Amino acid sequence: MNRTYLDHNATTPLRAEARAAMIAAMDVLGNPASVHAEGRAAKSLMENARRQVSDAMGAEGADIVFTSGATEAAALACAGRELHSAGIEHDAVGAVTAERLAMGANGSVIIDAPDQSAVQFANSETGVLQDVPAGLAVCDMTQGFGKLPLDFIGSGVRMGLISAHKLGGPKGIGALVLRRGQDVPAMIKGGGQEMGRRSGTENIIGMAGFGAAAQAAAQDVANGRWERVAQLRNILEKALEAASKKTIFVGYDAARLPNTSCILTPGWKGETQVMQMDLSGFAVSAGSACSSGKVKASRVLLAMGYDADQAACAIRVSLGLETTQDDVLRFADVWAQKLKKHEARAA
C-alpha cells in the first residue's frame, strides 16, 4: 500500500539540506567550548547555524538560545513569570501559564496586557493565525515559522519559541529567541553554555540541521511555494464539502496557515476517522501530535466554543510542500466513502 503523509503539523520530512549539514557536522571533532583549532571549528559551525536561524525569522540583533525543542523553550521563557494564556495554546505553553485570556470569534484571542501574555502565532490544530501585538511577552511561533514570512524584530515580540522538526529539520532541537535586554534564568546549570541560559555540551549536529532547514524554509516562503499548498487545501475542503454538507471547517473564515484544515463532522469520532484513514494509507491526526494519543475532546475546540461531542469529532489534515493535487483528491474520495459507510451503519 502506498502511504500518503498528511500530518505535517506534527512533524515534517527531513530536508535534504538539513541531512547534508548534519552528516558534515558528524565529522567535526571539537567541543565548541575548547579554544584549540578543533574547538573553534565546532564553534564556528554552531554560530553559523545561529545566524541561519536568525536570518530566516528576521531576528537580526536578537539572541538565539538553542534548546531541545519548543517545549523546553516555553519552560525557559515562562519560568518565574506569571503569564496569561488562552485555552487554545499548545500544552507546552498551557502547562506553564495561567489560562485567563478570553476568546473572540473564529479562534481569536483577546489580549488586554501583551507584556503579561503568552500567545501563539498560529494554532497547530486549526491553523488559525493570531494578530500578535507589539510587546507580547512570549509568542509560540513554531507552526508559522517556515510557512509564513516572519519578522521577529519588527513584530515587537519579546520572546519567541521555535522548533526544527516543524520545518524540515531534525527532531530534538529548537530555540528560544530573545530580544536583546530580555533575560531568562537558566533552568539547566553547569558550564554556562548558550550565553549562560542553558548549560550542557551543545548539540552541534542538531544545530547544523536546524540552521540549514531554516535557511531552506525561508527561501521556500520567499519563493511563494506555500501559495500552491493553500490552493490544495482549498481544493481539499471543496471536495469534502461536496461529500458532506454537515461538515464544519473550523476557522474557515479566519486567516489560517496555508496547509491546515480542521475538519469537524458531527457524530463521527475523530479517532475513528484517523484509524480508518490510516488503514487506507493516509496519515492524519485528531488534535495536536502531543495529545492525539489521548482519547478526549480537543481542548482547543472546547476553548473555541464547541461542545465536547463536537470537539471529539474533528480531524486535522496538514499538507506539505511535496503534497500533490492527486493526494488531496484521493484522500477526499476515500474519506467520503468512509463517511457514507459510517452514516449507513448509524441509520
Contact between 144 and 131 (Cβ < 8 Å): no
Contact between 45 and 212 (Cβ < 8 Å): no
| Element spanning 99, H or E | strand 98-99
Q: Give the three cell numbers for residue 97.
A: 501559564
Contact between 83 and 75 (Cβ < 8 Å): no
Distance CA 122, CA 145 (A): 9
CB atoms within 10 A of CB 48: 16
| Element spanning 250, H or E | strand 248-250
Active site residue 290: yes
Backbone angles phi, psi at 75, to 5 degrees: -65, -40
Distance CA 69, CA 16 (A): 21
Sequence-ordered list of residues with C-beta below 8 angstroms from that of 23, at least 6 positions apart, any chain: none
DSSP 305: T
Distance CA 163, CA 257 (A): 17
Q: Which of 78, 139, 262, 290 is catalytic?
A: 290
Distance CA 168, CA 179 (A): 25
| Element spanning 221, H or E | helix 204-222
CB atoms within 10 A of CB 1: 6
Distance CA 240, CA 151 (A): 35
Contact between 126 and 107 (Cβ < 8 Å): yes
Q: Give the three cell numbers for residue 153.
A: 524584530
Annotated active-site positions, please? 290
